[in-house]
Amino acid sequence: MIRDHWNKSAADYSEIVRQELTSDISSRWQHYVQNAIHHEGTIELLDVGTGPGIFPVLLADEHLHVTGIDLSEDMIEQAKNNIKTAGIEADVFVRDAADTQFPAASFDFIICRNLVWTLERPVAAYQEWHRLLKPGGQLLIFDGEWYGHHYHADRQERFQTLARYVKDTYQVNVYNYGGEEHPDDHEMMHHLYLSDKKRPDWDISTLETIGFTIEDVHHDYLDDITGKEERLKQGDITPVFFISAIKP
Ligand SMILES: C[S@@+](CC[C@H](N)C(=O)[O-])C[C@H]1O[C@@H](n2cnc3c(N)ncnc32)[C@H](O)[C@@H]1O
């Protein structure tokens, strides 16, 4: 189900990523990630759920080798095209986040954007990433809680307050992720393990149990990239977060 969903979305999603890559948002993403990672010398970075390859295109250089993986064959085709167009060197493969087939301690960094919420086996994926990192390696997670307002009263209150504010101020309707009016997304919400989990709390405790040390958690990190007002004008009120975790 998940692979089919992302295969079907690949062309449209790639178009969105190409727009990101040609706007000044891309340099803000680059700075955000470069500020968050600490490294010297040549490093190996794995981008899990790379989709159309935004991180390979933004991050790869002569000191930073990027490997991108994704469950969707069509996303990987899009990533190959975008990498070729950008004229950069990076490797991309069709693989499952929870079963990557790479040897242990292969990577200095693992990064993912908007992947974890859509994983069918997120605990197994976090365990696999712990295995893949070298000691001292860093995990960077960018994700959001798209469906929380359907499950938790405090999330619903926040959603309604912000939706009203955005409507009154910008005359924009916010997108109700997981709502019955979006049947595919509604079905996806009921299928996914993380839909009803409070995040990033769930991630923090799961990562710590697996053996990671949490280094940093940043709520609403997109306010620093897209801009707070710009997000609201676009009707984007999803609570998003960034986690940096270290494998000791
Ligand atoms: C919302 S997209 C994000 C793509 C990209 N990270 C970005 O931010 O542009 C989610 C991606 O996760 C991939 N994905 C979903 N489940 C996966 C899994 N188990 N293993 C690897 N990739 C997966 C999907 O195919 C899709 O490309």
pLDDT digits (tens, 9 = 90+) for 66-124: 999 999 999 999 999 999 999 999 999 999 999 999 999 999 999 999 999 999 999 99
The verdict on residue 89 lying in a domain is yes
Mean pLDDT (the chain, rounded) = 96
Q: How many domains does the chain have?
A: 1
Residue 236 in any domain: the answer is yes
Residue 139 backbone phi and psi in degrees, to 5:
-110, 130
pLDDT of residue 105: 98
Domain CATH code at residue 209: 3.40.50.150
Residue 13 Cα: closest atom of ligand 1: 9
Distance 49 CA to ligand 1 centre (A): 3
Pairwise pLDDT comparison (191 vs 37), residue with the higher score: 191
C-alpha 120 to ligand 1 mean position (Å): 11
On the question of pLDDT at 38 being above 90, the answer is no
| 188 occurs within a structural domain | no
Cα 193 from Cα 179, distance rounded (Å)? 17
Place of tokens 């676009």: 234
Question: What's the 184 CA to ligand 1 centre distance in angstroms?
Answer: 17
Question: DSSP letter string over 42-78?
Answer: -EEEEEET-TTTHHHHHH-BTTEEEEEEES-HHHHHH
Q: Edge-to-edge strand order for the sheet containing 64-70?
A: 91-94, 64-70, 43-48, 107-113, 133-144, 240-246, 213-219
Among 115, 119, 146, 238, say which to mutate for ligand 1: greatest number of ligand atoms within 8 Å of CB.
115
Ligand 1 site, CB within 6 A? 2, 6, 17, 49-51, 54, 69-72, 75, 96-97, 113-115, 118-119
Distance 163 CA to ligand 1 centre (A): 27
Strand partners, 138: 109, 246
Which residues lie closer than 8 Å to 202 by C-beta, 6 or more apart?
194
Q: Is residue 121 part of a domain?
A: yes
Structural domain harbouring 100: 2-148+197-246
